[in-house]
Amino acid sequence: MKQEILEIQDRAVSELLYLAKSGKSSISLKAPTGSGKTHIMARLMNEMLKENENLVFLVSTISKGRLASQNYERFNEFSLKFTRLKPFYISSEKDAKNKEYSIHIDTSFNVFVLPSAQYTKTSKINKEKSLLIFLQRCKEESKKVILLRDESHIATNNLNELSSYFSQTIHFSATPKDDKYDVKIDEKEAERANLIKTVEYIDEKEELEKGLNRALDKFKSIQNFYFKEGIRPAFIIQISNKDFGKNEMKEIKQILEKQGLRWVCFVEKEKDYESNTRLEKLKNKSLWQNYVKENDSFIDVIIFKMVITEGFDIPRACMLYQVRDTNSKQLDEQVIGRVRRNPCLKRFEYLDKETQEIFSKAYIYGIKPMEKSKKRIRLKGEIHKNLFENEIIKEFGKFEIIVLKEIHMGDIDIRDCLKNLKEYDSESIFEKYKKLQKVSEVVKRKQKEFVKTYEDWFLFSQNLKAIQDKLNSVVEDYEKYAQIEKVELREDIYSFYDSRGESVWLDNWIWSDSKEEEFSFDSEAEKEFCKILYTLCEKSCKKISINGKEIYLFGKNFIDKSNVKFDYYHLRKRTSYPDFIFKDIKNKIHIFEVKSVNQSKSFALDDEEYKEKIEKLKKAYTFASKKTGYIFYLPVKNGDDWSIWRCENGKVDEEAKRMNKAMFAEYMNGGA
């Protein structure tokens, strides 16, 4: 699995863990469908059990689509890795016909999965007070019960009467109610890491026959890429309700039959369906889910109304054709989530580039959901047919960026790192495996190339530290592997920002909002440093006139379509998109990447990891400053003041290492 994916999930767990330790009673995670919420749950519970073995987790899961039993099965799988987890499935279904049967919940376990439909006013669990007795027993045994609500955007009010027994509630959802959350896995970040697929929206305006045939032709054009990896891709069609759905269904069936495709249709109930395949002959209708979701399933097309929103994991699905308009952003996002899972997550980095691109994209034929929080802005100046005639883009000329070249494993010789295999080694195979999971991507690639036998694996593991040091020294050789590329400042004059962030009123900088001039930023530190730079503009910043108004050549680097980026290496190749760009009155370009070491309300910093990342950025920026002539800064908020690192022409002077907010202002006003 790619290092970026592990980092995204690890960060989410760290933030949730910090909030849980701080005693916050209700915590929520927003994470796109397919980003590994079940894995994050398991990891979080395991970490919390490390701190307190008297914790008990009740995982409340909607019953729809076998989601509860899927979660229980996954927790059992994860317990091999997260060894403190002991899952138990709470259900009365198995012995529903046995009137003498009494439900017992065994307190020797610590993770209890409860399907929401199993706890209602009329359910056996409620009538027998089984859950209440269990919670009371936990209380008597001084165990803290933490409620985890999966798919928490769906109301499950039956547990509210038991809320006094829960010390904390942690919510997990792709579409939280009112879009409120404490911790978030960013969708764009998840896409860049290939954790989920990027969506390509095709605005479908054609009549059904023509439009569906066109979409199916596209589907057939990518099938072979899936076939060669042992996966049969799936095409999903969402139809309308009632009479509209009946008419559409008749036409859709005819189109699919002509295309020679095998389909299954389930429109009202999960266990009721029709198909043109041998699925029709199954006596146990509930087994259709198993057949449809498997990678080697013989079903090409799945037709539904609203059945497969949550709890239907089908990574092989890659295309969605929406005939139905739900008029619900939340429902649309849940349906679209069905086709966004990466079908080859664990070995994605070993696929060829073309296959990676195919597996990284989901095609949606239908209505594109609107993001109310996204605000569109544009660079000030004229909009020409030639984008690069824009006054602001022209002012920054051919912008220079740093790009890290691909490193060939054959270029790195590790023979001098290998010592003879130790006859006695106190470290267990499990400890070695854990260490290997945390190494950089280049070490993982070298291990894959080197290891051919069990002896090779042990030899590599026993000499891991020396190999890591050697490989890191090579990949961070910017003189050898970094190159300068000249690009335009932006690929488009338009960009977007999330209006829910920290806002500042800004008028005469490079960006324009057609309705107002209030812009939002990702953090309090970023907002504060923007204000600092803005106050320095009058004396330090170059101005140009656009439509008779003076504009400062200073702005936020909104990353959508931005070319202001610099590659660096920290465990893997990364790209830094600095926060601000500033052109001074002497035509020098200043680049700012804002950081903070203050604890936020939702995030506990790993000091060592954070410091290491900053040091890696400094190394890359030092090289970039020498090659580009730009002046690079790392302003770090620390308490009420700032520590501002500065590098110019590849040199970091002693004054820059001690520069605070006042010294920075003096430098910019006098020395810029």
**Left, alpha or beta for 432 (phi > 0: left; psi -120 to 50: alpha)?**
alpha
| CA quadruple 578, 583, 586, 591: dihedral, nearest 10 | 0
**Span 51-78, mean pLDDT?**
84
pLDDT at 97: 46
Where does the chain hold its CATH 3.40.50.300 domain(s)? Answer: 197-370
pLDDT at 212: 92
638's enclosing H/E stretch is strand 631-638
Q: Which of the two residues, 461 and 670, has the higher pLDDT score?
A: 461
Share of the chain above pLDDT 90, in %: 37
**Span 629-651, mean pLDDT?**
91
Q: Which of the two residues, 92 and 29, has the higher pLDDT score?
A: 29
**Span 124-143, mean pLDDT?**
88
DSSP-based helix, strand, coil % in the chain, nearest 5: 40, 25, 35
Q: Helix/strand/coil (H, E, C) string of 22-36?
A: CCCCEEEEECCCCCC
* Beta strand extents in 464-614 (DSSP E only): 482-487, 494-498, 502-505, 511-512, 518-521, 543-546, 549-552, 554-556, 566-570, 572-576, 580-583, 589-592, 595-596
- Reported as a single tens digit per residue, the pLDDT across 355-380 is 999 999 999 987 666 565 678 888 99
DSSP state of 237: E
Contacts of 26 by beta carbon, 8 Å cutoff, 6+ apart: 168, 169, 170, 171
CA 125 to CA 70: how far, in whole Å? 20
User: Among 139-153, 189-203, 306-320, which is the least confidently predicted range?
Assistant: 306-320
Concatenating the DSSP letter of every residue in 325-360 gives ----HHHHHHHHGGG-B-TT-TTGGGS-HHHHHHHT
Name the CA radius of gyration of the chain, rounded: 28
CA 579 to CA 648: how far, in whole Å? 18
Task: Please state the CATH superfamily assignment of the domain spanning residues 3-184 in this structure.
Answer: Tandem AAA-ATPase domain (3.40.50.10810)
Asked whether the predicted pLDDT for residue 156 surpasses 80, the reply is no
Asked whether the predicted pLDDT for residue 280 surpasses 70, the reply is no
109 and 145 Cβ atoms separated by less than 8 Å: no
566 and 575 Cβ atoms separated by less than 8 Å: yes
pLDDT at 390: 86
pLDDT at 68: 79
What are the φ/ψ torsions at residue 141 (nearest 5 degrees)?
-90, 10
544 and 553 Cβ atoms separated by less than 8 Å: yes
4 and 192 Cβ atoms separated by less than 8 Å: yes
How far lies 542's CA from each of 85, 335, 392, 581, 634, in Å? Answer: 60, 49, 11, 12, 22
645 and 657 Cβ atoms separated by less than 8 Å: yes
Q: Which amino acid is at 24?
A: K
Closest CA to 417 of 461, 476, 449: 461
Confidence band for 338, pLDDT divided at 50, 70 and 90: confident
CA 230 to CA 195: how far, in whole Å? 20
The CATH topology of domain 197-370 is: Rossmann fold (3.40.50)
pTM, two decimal places: 0.72
How far lies 277's CA from each of 227, 304, 626, 663, in Å? Answer: 20, 17, 66, 75
Instruction: Count other Cβ atoms within 10 Å, centred on residue 610.
Output: 14
Confidence band for 95, pLDDT divided at 50, 70 and 90: very low
Asked whether the predicted pLDDT for residue 533 surpasses 80, the reply is yes
pLDDT at 98: 44
CA 500 to CA 402: how far, in whole Å? 32
Q: Helix/strand/coil (H, E, C) string of 386-452?
A: CHHHCHHHHHCCCEEEEEECCCCHHHCCCHHHCCCCCCCCCCCHHHHHHHHHCCCHHHHHHHHHHCC
Q: Which of the two residues, 155 and 150, has the higher pLDDT score?
A: 150
pLDDT, mean over the chain: 84
**Packed helices 464-475 and 441-450: angle between N→C axes, nearest 10 degrees:** 120
Share of the chain above pLDDT 70, in %: 85
pLDDT at 577: 93
Which of the residue ranges 289-293, 418-422, 617-621 has the most confident prediction, judged by mean pLDDT? Answer: 617-621
Confidence band for 65, pLDDT divided at 50, 70 and 90: very low
CA 82 to CA 69: how far, in whole Å? 19
Asked whether the predicted pLDDT for residue 148 surpasses 50, the reply is yes
- Reported as a single tens digit per residue, the pLDDT across 586-608 is 999 999 999 876 655 444 445 67
Where does the chain hold its CATH 3.40.50.10810 domain(s)? Answer: 3-184
pLDDT at 88: 93
How far lies 274's CA from each of 267, 281, 317, in Å? Answer: 9, 10, 19
What are the φ/ψ torsions at residue 30 (nearest 5 degrees)?
-105, 125
Q: Which of the two residues, 266 and 426, has the higher pLDDT score?
A: 426
Q: Strand order of the sheet with strand 399-404?
A: 482-487, 399-404, 566-570, 572-576
Asked whether the predicted pLDDT for residue 411 surpasses 80, the reply is no
Confidence band for 265, pLDDT divided at 50, 70 and 90: confident
For β-strands 566-570 and 572-576, DSSP reports them as antiparallel
How far lies 123's CA from each of 64, 103, 115, 128, 602, in Å? Answer: 16, 11, 12, 9, 38
Q: Which of the two residues, 83 and 603, has the higher pLDDT score?
A: 83
Confidence band for 204, pLDDT divided at 50, 70 and 90: low
